[in-house]
Amino acid sequence: MRILDRKETDVDATIIEEEETVLAVETPPEPARRQAGFECELPVGYVDEDGRVHRTAVLRKMTGRDEAIMADRRNRNSGARMMSELLASCLVELGNVENPGLAVAQTLYSADRYYLLMKLREITFGSELTATYSCPTCKESVTLVEDISQLEVRRVEPGAFPEEIVIDLEDGYVDRAGEIYTTFVFRQPTGADEEKISAVARENASRGKNALMARCLVGVGEMPKARIEALGTSIFNDLTLGDRALIDRALNEDGPGVAMTRPVTCPGCGRDYEVTLDLSNFLRPS
């Protein structure tokens, strides 16, 4: 075997370096892998600062980073905050807005947020979701496999802005002077509203509902706005349960968004009852 002297070694090393340089130039680096996006149409849409409505959203699948968001102790006490963080992480585009971020996720209407949540589950794990419900009469539980891709989605008409919700109550609110107010007007709730009332709702669901309705209330008959703001949540404490049910139905069942309630028949006593979609297995493939 021939042994190269120092001069030959330096020359050969130079040649090798030049060849490696040529190879580096001629061989382009492999492009970074990018996760595929999934396009969907929001039921209401994001209204930007210029008043334009953006309805086409692009989501990516949830990753381990997103699982960590949902497991974060700071988010455990506020499902609304957790949803905002999750959507901010997984929402790639919203109309002409790229990487919308947390502020936009909080601004989205609740109807759009829950729709996007269902889509995240569908594109990540598939459309089947195992859900368990308990009969309010005999307490027997029933486990069902829900197909979330088949859930009804109510949408605002194309090109239209989200409208205020006008509700005519049966009994109405009676003030100290004896005047009765039966027409209540609400705006659509947003993620920011949900986050604001989360602490109250965690302690008492009924008071949390009052707080949300008070934030979204924009009109009570001819009552001055200052008076409405002064009354705050107390206005809802004095409403009959029948009127409160009318408001709840108008805000949740009759408005735009995913139909989250479904009928269930108890296998034990045979009672038919309505439930809200069970999301306890949201992170588990069915």
* Domain map (residue ranges) of the chain: 38-126, 165-255
- Residue 286 — pLDDT band, cuts 50, 70, 90? confident
pLDDT over threshold 90, residue 4: no
Q: So what's the pLDDT on residue 6? A: 35
Question: What are the pLDDT digits (tens) for 10-65?
Answer: 434 433 343 333 344 444 454 444 567 899 999 999 988 888 889 999 999 999 99
Q: For residue 89, which amino acid is it?
A: S
**What value does the mean pLDDT take over residues 206-233?**
94
**What value does the mean pLDDT take over residues 134-144?**
94
Mean pLDDT over all residues of the chain?
85
Show the tokens assigned to 137. Answer: 């009469």
Q: So what's the pLDDT on residue 58? A: 97
Q: So what's the pLDDT on residue 228? A: 95
Which one has a higher pLDDT value, 122 or 286?
A: 122
**What value does the mean pLDDT take over residues 249-254?**
79
Q: Which of 148, 127, 118 is nearest to 40 (CA)?
A: 118
Q: Which of 2-16, 198-212, 263-277 has the lowest mean pLDDT?
A: 2-16
Which one has a higher pLDDT value, 227 or 18?
A: 227
Question: What are the pLDDT digits (tens) for 151-194?
Answer: 999 998 877 777 889 999 999 999 999 999 999 999 999 999 99
CB neighbour class for 213 (10 Å; exposed up to 12, middle 13-18, buried from 19): buried
pLDDT over threshold 70, residue 251: yes
Q: So what's the pLDDT on residue 36? A: 72
pLDDT over threshold 70, residue 3: no
Q: Token pair 């009928």 is at which residue? A: 263
Q: What percent of the chain has pLDDT over 90?
A: 65
Q: So what's the pLDDT on residue 35? A: 66
Q: So what's the pLDDT on residue 1? A: 35
